[in-house]
Amino acid sequence: MTTLSTPATRSEATSSSPRSGSPIRRDRRRWTGWGFVLPFLVVFALVLVAPVVYAIYLSLFQEKMIGGTAFVGAANYLQALSDPNFWDALGRVALFLVVQVPVMLAVALAAALALDSARMHFTAFFRISIFLPYAVPAVVAALMWGFIYGNRFGLVGNLEDATGWDLPDLLSQSWVLASIGNIVTWEFVGYNMLLFYAALRVISPDLYEAAELDGAGPFRIVRNIKLPAIRGALVIGVIFSIIGSFQLFNEPNILQTLAPNAISTFFTPNMYAYNLSFAGQQYNYSAAIAIIMGVLTMVVAYVVQLVGTRKDS
């Protein structure tokens, strides 16, 4: 006997079967996405969020001779803002940033433009040669350049003995900041060059052909086409360089053993915080200095980003 299904029966069967747009299926997809993101969130929380929160917590306390650890609120921050050693270190890093970063980025941009001009032979060789110092660890680079700078045991001393010249002491108090700037420039020119060169390679060749038909020369093409097209990469390079300047630590810390009279324990804010923490056992005050530098770096980088991307909005 054949059973005929009524419209009501068919509608009930259809509504009872799971569909792709059902709430259960949508909830399952939503939790599946969180499952993929969860490993990153766990690592992010443990590696970044937790240390920052703990540093902020430490900065709100002080170790008292009587009474142990006590909550002091913003006292450590106020002490840092009135600490002449901190301001001396911050001023030195600011000078380093203002001088070294433009020089490094200008050299990197010139190298990227030269490689992109299609007028150089052995382009791949020059590209890898400029980028190769970036692969050298900062500690190794500082040791290598420290040996070169030595006037008693290094290349400078050998040149003085061979020529009789009286060369400047590059590890003296007057020259050590410029010497560190040379090391950092040597290390990171290749990285920024590759960043700018990758952005230049994305530019459509049609723009160059149209500019040449209009009679534009090489310098006008660079000024009116290439530089505006890679402005985003330039902003990224500036931001990364600013962050790296405020984090200056490895190079002066390694060279301190070679030039103890020129590089003090508070040569940079990071060195000051490091020595306060691990040599002076002032963990709370060190945490306050670290938080101040982190906030300052974030503010400066954000302002640079706003200025660099203002015309895009």
**Digit-coded pLDDT (tens) for 214-223:** 888 888 888 8
Least confident of 3-12, 88-97, 284-293: 3-12
Q: Is 90 in the same domain as 146? A: yes
Q: Is 159 in the same domain as 255? A: yes
Please name which of 41, 39, 19, 22 lies closest in space to residue 30, comparing C-alpha atoms: 22
Domain assignment present for 2? no
Domain assignment present for 64? no
**CATH number of the domain residue 188 falls in:** 1.10.3720.10
Contact 23, 251 (CB under 8 A): no
pLDDT at 10 over 70: no
Give the integer Cα–Cα distance in Å for 237 and 252.
Answer: 23
Q: Is 93 in the same domain as 233? A: yes
Percent share of the chain, pLDDT over 90? 58
Q: Is 54 helix (H, G, I), strand (E, B) or coil?
A: helix
Give the integer Cα–Cα distance in Å for 221 and 208.
Answer: 7
Q: What is the reported pLDDT for 26? A: 63
Contact 276, 285 (CB under 8 A): yes
Q: Is 50 in the same domain as 104? A: no
Q: Is 132 in the same domain as 43? A: no
Question: What's the structural domain count of the chain?
Answer: 2
Domain assignment present for 229? yes
Q: Which two tokens stand for residue 45?
A: 């929380």
Q: Is the pTM value of this prediction over 0.95?
A: no
Which of 7, 31, 59 represents a domain boundary (last residue)?
Answer: 59
Q: Is 217 in the same domain as 243? A: yes
Q: Please compute Rg for the chain using Cα positions.
A: 29
Domain assignment present for 5? no
Q: Is 212 in the same domain as 277? A: yes
Domain assignment present for 9? no
Q: Is 284 in the same domain as 195? A: yes
Q: What is the reported pLDDT for 67? A: 66
Q: Is 262 in the same domain as 142? A: yes
Which of 59, 84, 109 represents a domain boundary (last residue)?
Answer: 59
Q: Is 62 helix (H, G, I), strand (E, B) or coil?
A: strand
Domain assignment present for 174? yes
Average pLDDT over residues 65-85: 87
Domain assignment present for 14? no
Q: How confident is the model at residue 150 (pLDDT cuts 50, 70, 90)?
A: confident
Q: Is 44 in the same domain as 98? A: no
Number of neighbouring beta carbons within 10 Å of residue 143: 15
pLDDT at 1 over 50: no
DSSP class of residue 118 equals: T
Give the integer Cα–Cα distance in Å for 196 and 191.
Answer: 9
Give the integer Cα–Cα distance in Å for 145 and 175.
Answer: 14
Which of 30, 59, 88 represents a domain boundary (last residue)?
Answer: 59
Q: Which two tokens stand for residue 187?
A: 């290390």
- pLDDT, mean over the chain: 86
Location of structure tokens 């290439």: 226
Q: Is 301 in the same domain as 212? A: yes
Average pLDDT over residues 268-293: 92
Q: Is 112 in the same domain as 192? A: yes
| Residues spanned by the domain of 25 | 21-59
Domain assignment present for 250? yes
* DSSP character string of 215-235: T--HHHHIIIIIHHHTHHHHH
